[in-house]
Amino acid sequence: MNQELDNMVASVREQLLKQFASAEDKTTVLRSNELRTLYARIAQLPNDQRAPFGNAVNKLKAELSDLIRQHNEQESALPAIDVSAPFALNSDKAHRPKLLSADLGSVHPLSEEISKICDIFYGMGFSMVESREIDDDWHMFGSLNFPEGHPARDDYDTFMTKQLDKDNKPLIAPAHTSSMQHRVLLKNKHLLDKGQPIATIIPGRTFRNEDVDPRHEHTFNQIEGIYVNSQVNIGNLIATLKTFLESYFNSSNIEVKTQPFYFPFTEPSLEFSLSCPFCNKQGCSVCSQSGWIELLGCGMIHPQVLRAAKIDPIKFQGFAWGVGVERLVMMKYGIEDIRHFESGKLSFLRQFSAGGYL
Ligand code: DAH
């Protein structure tokens, strides 16, 4: 091969190696104009020069293909991952995907509001215990005076597992935080004998087989409250809830209204409404023009519920309530659709981040 052809291949090689080093897509060198020009030249050469020149061009192409193959192998040969190890141990810095730093996140609005609600009750002397996300028939129904086969059980649209508990009944994703009442009574009844009340709130996630719409979610949060002492009456219940609501809505002129209702675990049972904190009973979109908002269920704890925990209902009485957290928060901030909470939409969540971020 003559010098001129030799130089030509050498200079194209140099250019393509440079291109290879900087290209995002390494295979572009194989489709490059420079390489194509070399191949086109083969046909124009006299017979005796074709073979050596063709060999040199093929050699260059093979060299480039090799480089590409090596590069691809390096890319795919990531180290094995120990899925149980902390993230930082599994990947070196160069291969670590970019993550948002933790200080760009914020507490979910429901968690934020649940702690505000708990704080208000702590101030009134309540302690707190969290609910659980799987429970049994006895705690969901039996201990709360729902007899076997009672139609009130159907009001709770419960999700059940195929797995059975020790009584051969399906386990249950609790449909209300009341399923913690029996445990709280059992654990704290020794206080009553010392002359101290049982005063506990129970925040927790609850589940129902609901048709989901702007007002109903299959997964939602409740806060249960339970208070037992001697000489407790329904006036104590109403005053406690009114005090809470005035504090939560930061309003001193909230009026409350009760209507008779039915729950197997309270007697009497009440549905508790408050005057709309947005329109002062004038009627607005939040209260569907009625001036009142039905908020929660409550009542005096049924003697059977106390007896199930071996508390004497002659000596001690109590009240309890269960309030939906989403409902409270929706009212407080004028949120129109309950599904926003579980949606994971940043545009929704960012509105509640106190510090402002991202
Ligand atoms: N558990 C009821 C529900 O989810 C609400 C409720 C009503 C709770 C009365 C109570 C109560 O503690 O006393 O519908």
Q: Is the pLDDT of residue 247 over 90?
A: yes
Q: Which neighbouring-strand residues pair with 352?
A: none
* Cis amide bond preceding 109, omega within 30: no
Q: Which residues line ligand 1 (CB under 6 A)?
A: 176, 178, 224, 263, 266, 297-299, 320-322
Q: How far is the CA of 146 from the centre of ligand 1 (A)?
A: 13
Averaged pLDDT score across all residues of the chain: 90
| 157-186 pLDDT per residue, tens | 999 999 999 999 999 999 999 999 999 999
Q: Which ligand 1 atom minimizes the distance to the CA of 206?
A: 4
Is the Cα torsion angle 46, 51, 54, 59 positive or negative in sign?
A: negative
Q: Separation of 156 CA from ligand 1 center, angstroms?
A: 11
DSSP 95: G
Neighbours of 148 (CB within 10 A): 9
Task: Give me ligand 1 centre to Cα 298, in Å.
Answer: 6
CA atoms 209, 211, 212, 213: torsion sign: negative
Are the C-beta atoms of 153 and 147 separated by less than 8 Å?
no
Render pLDDT for 45-74 as a digit per residue (tens, 0 to 9): 998 899 999 999 999 999 999 999 888 887
Distance from the CA of 322 to the center of ligand 1, in angstroms?
4
Q: Which of 158, 201, 152 is nearest to 322 (CA)?
A: 201
Most informative mutation of 263, 266, 306 for ligand 1 (most atoms within 8 A of CB): 263
List all residues 6 or more positions away from 192 whose beta carbon is below 8 Å from its beta carbon.
198, 228, 229, 230, 311, 315, 316
Q: Can you give the pLDDT at residue 334? A: 86
Q: Give the residue from 101, 123, 14 showing the smallest Cα distance to 63.
A: 14
The answer to whether 336 and 327 are in contact (CB under 8 A) is no
Confidence of residue 29 (pLDDT cuts 50, 70, 90): very high
Give the integer Cα–Cα distance in Å for 358 and 350.
Answer: 9
What's the predicted TM-score (pTM) here?
Answer: 0.72
Span from the CA of 350 to the centroid of ligand 1 (angstroms): 32
pLDDT of residue 75: 73
DSSP string covering 197-241? -EEEEEEEEEE--PPPBTTB-SEEEEEEEEEEETT--HHHHHHHH
Q: Which residue has the higher pLDDT, 25 or 244?
A: 244
Residue extents of the structural domains in the chain = 3-80, 111-352
Question: Which pLDDT does position 64 carry in this prediction?
Answer: 94
Atom 9 in ligand 1: which residue has the minimum CA distance?
A: 298
Task: State in words which class domain 111-352 has.
Answer: alpha beta
> Confidence class of residue 90 from pLDDT cuts 50, 70 and 90?
low
**Which of 139-148, 190-199, 254-263, 342-351 is predicted least confidently?**
342-351
Give the pLDDT score at 321.
98
The per-residue pLDDT for 105 is 77
